[in-house]
A and B are shown apart, each in its own frame.
Chain A
Amino acid sequence: MKNLRIGAILGALLMVAAACSSAPAGKAGGTLIVALPGDIVRTDAALMDDSNTSYVIQQVVETLVGLEPGSTSKVVPVLAESYEMSADGLTYTFKLRSGIKFHDGTDFNADAVVFNYERYIGLPTELRDYAYYIGDIFGGYGADSNLESATKIDDLTVAIKLRKASSTFLLTQTLQVFAIQSPTALVLGKADNTETDISKVTAATGGAGAMVGTGPFKFVKWIVGDSVEVEKNADYWNKDKVAYVDAIVFKAVAEEAQRVNGLATGEIDLAQTIAPATIATIAANPDLQLIDRGSSFNTFQISMNHTYAPISNPKIREAIAYAIDYDFLIKTFYAGAAVRATNWMPAGVAYAKDLNLPGYDVAKAKALIAESGETDLTIDFWYPNDVTRPYMPDPKGLFEAISANLEAVGFTINANSDGWREGYLDDEGQGKYEMWLLGWTGDWAGPDNFLKTAFFGYKNGAPSKEFGYKNDALDKAMNDALAAGSESEAKALWETAQDLIRADMPTVPVANSKPQAAATIDLKGFIGSAALNEPLNLVWLDRP
Chain B
Amino acid sequence: MGRYVVRRLLAAIPVLIGLSVLLFAYIRILPGDPCVAILGQKRTPELCAALRENLGLDLPLWEQYIRYLLNTLSGDLGASVVNSQPFMAEFLTRFPGTVELTIGALIFALGVGIPLGRLAARKVGGRIDGLITGVSLFGVSIPVFVLGLVLVAIFGVILEWLPTQGRIDARARFEATSGLLLIDTLFAGRLDLFVDVVRHLILPSIALGSIPLAIITRITRASVIEVVNEDYVRTARSKGLKEKTVDNRHIMRNAWLPVTTVVGLQAGALLGGAVLTETVFVWNGVGRWVVDAIQNRDYPIVQSTILIFALIFLIVNLLVDIGYALLNPKIRYQ
Residue from A38, A129, A226, A438 whose CB has the most chain B CB atoms within 10 Å: A129
Within 8 A of A (CB), among B85-114: 85-86, 90, 93-94
Within 8 A of A (CB), among B155-199: 156-157, 160, 163-166, 170-171, 173
Q: CB of A267 within 8 A of chain B?
A: yes
Q: Of A49, A198, A253, A261, which one neighbours B157 at CB under 8 angstroms?
A: A261
A251–B166 CB distance below 8 A: yes
Q: CB of B280 within 8 A of chain A?
A: yes
Within 8 A of B (CB), among A418-462: 419, 421-423, 425-426, 429, 438, 440, 454, 459
Interface size on A, residues (CB 8 A): 53
B36–A225 CB distance below 8 A: no
B31–A419 CB distance below 8 A: yes
| Known A132-B47, A258-B280: A227·B39 in contact at CB below 8 Å | no
Within 8 A of B (CB), among A94-146: 125-126, 128-129, 132, 135-136
Query: Which residues does chain B contribute within 8 Å of A132, judged by CB atoms?
Result: 39, 42, 47
Q: CB of A223 within 8 A of chain B?
A: yes
CA distance A268 to B171 in the complex (A): 10
- Of chain A, the residue at the smallest CB distance from B162 is A265
A199–B84 CB distance below 8 A: yes
- Against B, the Cβ 8 Å flags (1 = close, 0 = not) of A233-271 are 000000000000001010111110110011011011000
A38 CB → nearest B CB, Å: 8
B286 CB → nearest A CB, Å: 10
Query: Which residues does chain A contribute within 8 Å of B43, judged by CB atoms?
Result: 425, 429
B170–A253 CB distance below 8 A: no
CA distance A244 to B266 in the complex (A): 49
Query: Which residues does chain A contribute within 8 Å of B37, judged by CB atoms?
Result: 421
Q: CB of A332 within 8 A of chain B?
A: no
B84–A249 CB distance below 8 A: no
Query: Which residues does chain B contribute within 8 Å of A31, judged by CB atoms?
Result: 170-171, 173
A268 CB → nearest B CB, Å: 8
CA distance A177 to B37 in the complex (A): 21
Q: CB of B33 within 8 A of chain A?
A: yes
A199–B284 CB distance below 8 A: no
CA distance A252 to B90 in the complex (A): 16
Q: CB of A272 within 8 A of chain B?
A: no
Within 8 A of B (CB), among A32-53: 33, 38-39, 41-42, 49
Query: Which residues does chain A contribute within 8 Å of B93, judged by CB atoms?
Result: 223-224
Query: Which residues does chain B contribute within 8 Å of A125, judged by CB atoms?
Result: 50
A66 CB → nearest B CB, Å: 22
Query: Which residues does chain B contribute within 8 Å of A229, judged by CB atoms?
Result: 173
Query: Which residues does chain B contribute within 8 Å of A179, judged by CB atoms?
Result: none
Q: CB of B32 within 8 A of chain A?
A: yes
B157–A265 CB distance below 8 A: yes
CA distance A132 to B44 in the complex (A): 10
CA distance A429 to B33 in the complex (A): 13
CA distance A261 to B164 in the complex (A): 8
| Known A198-B84, A225-B94, A258-B164: A422·B171 in contact at CB below 8 Å | no
B164–A205 CB distance below 8 A: no
B300 CB → nearest A CB, Å: 11
A177 CB → nearest B CB, Å: 12
Q: Of B85, B94, B282, B297, which one neighbours A253 at CB under 8 angstroms?
A: B282
B292–A225 CB distance below 8 A: yes
| Known A129-B47, A265-B160: A422·B31 in contact at CB below 8 Å | yes
Interface residues on B, range: 35 or more
B156–A265 CB distance below 8 A: yes
- Against A, the Cβ 8 Å flags (1 = close, 0 = not) of B278-316 are 011110100011001001010000000000000000000
Q: CB of A67 within 8 A of chain B?
A: no
Q: CB of A536 within 8 A of chain B?
A: no
CA distance A268 to B152 in the complex (A): 14
- Of chain A, the residue at the smallest CB distance from B41 is A425
Query: Which residues does chain A contribute within 8 Å of B82, judged by CB atoms?
Result: 41
Query: Which residues does chain A contribute within 8 Å of B9, judged by CB atoms?
Result: none
A261–B40 CB distance below 8 A: no
Query: Which residues does chain B contribute within 8 Å of A255, judged by CB atoms?
Result: 279-280, 282
Q: Of A39, A265, A421, which one neighbours B33 at CB under 8 angstroms?
A: A421
Q: CB of B54 within 8 A of chain A?
A: yes
Within 8 A of A (CB), among B251-282: 279-282
Q: CB of B149 within 8 A of chain A?
A: yes
| Known A224-B85, A224-B93, A225-B292: A258·B152 in contact at CB below 8 Å | yes
B297–A265 CB distance below 8 A: no
B170–A267 CB distance below 8 A: yes
Within 8 A of A (CB), among B311-328: none
Q: CB of B23 within 8 A of chain A?
A: no
Query: Which residues does chain A contribute within 8 Å of B39, judged by CB atoms?
Result: 49, 129, 132
CA distance A267 to B295 in the complex (A): 26
Q: CB of A175 within 8 A of chain B?
A: no
- Of chain B, the residue at the smallest CB distance from A247 is B173
Query: Which residues does chain B contribute within 8 Å of A41, judged by CB atoms?
Result: 82-83
Q: CB of A191 within 8 A of chain B?
A: no
Q: CB of B153 within 8 A of chain A?
A: yes
CA distance A255 to B278 in the complex (A): 11
- Of chain B, the residue at the smallest CB distance from A127 is B54
B160–A225 CB distance below 8 A: no
Query: Which residues does chain A contribute within 8 Å of B31, judged by CB atoms?
Result: 419, 422-423
| Known A205-B84, A426-B33: A267·B163 in contact at CB below 8 Å | yes
A450 CB → nearest B CB, Å: 13
Q: CB of B79 within 8 A of chain A?
A: yes
Q: CB of A204 within 8 A of chain B?
A: yes
Query: Which residues does chain B contribute within 8 Å of A39, judged by CB atoms?
Result: 83, 292
Q: Of A38, A126, A265, A454, which one neighbours B54 at CB under 8 angstroms?
A: A126
Query: Which residues does chain B contribute within 8 Å of A426, judged by CB atoms?
Result: 33, 36
Q: CB of B51 within 8 A of chain A?
A: yes
B190 CB → nearest A CB, Å: 16
A245 CB → nearest B CB, Å: 10
- Against B, the Cβ 8 Å flags (1 = close, 0 = not) of A511-530 are 00000000000000000000
Within 8 A of A (CB), among B1-60: 31-33, 36-37, 39-44, 47, 50-51, 54
CA distance A229 to B175 in the complex (A): 11
A225–B288 CB distance below 8 A: yes
- Of chain B, the residue at the smallest CB distance from A125 is B50
| Known A205-B85, A258-B152: A251·B32 in contact at CB below 8 Å | no
Within 8 A of B (CB), among A171-185: none
Q: Of B50, B149, B165, B297, which one neighbours A251 at CB under 8 angstroms?
A: B165
Query: Which residues does chain A contribute within 8 Å of B156, judged by CB atoms?
Result: 261, 264-265
Supply 14 further A-B pairs (C-beta < 8 A) apart from A33-B170, A254-B279, A267-B163. Answer: A39-B83, A126-B54, A128-B47, A224-B85, A253-B165, A255-B279, A258-B280, A261-B164, A265-B164, A267-B165, A421-B37, A422-B31, A423-B32, A459-B44
Residue contacts A-B, CB under 8 angstroms, 29 given: A31-B170, A31-B171, A33-B171, A41-B83, A42-B84, A49-B39, A128-B50, A129-B54, A132-B47, A199-B85, A224-B85, A225-B90, A247-B173, A249-B173, A251-B282, A254-B279, A255-B282, A261-B157, A261-B165, A262-B164, A265-B165, A267-B164, A267-B165, A268-B165, A419-B31, A425-B36, A425-B41, A426-B36, A454-B41
Instruction: Name the 4 nearest CB pairs between A and B, nearest first.
Output: A226-B284, A422-B31, A31-B171, A199-B84
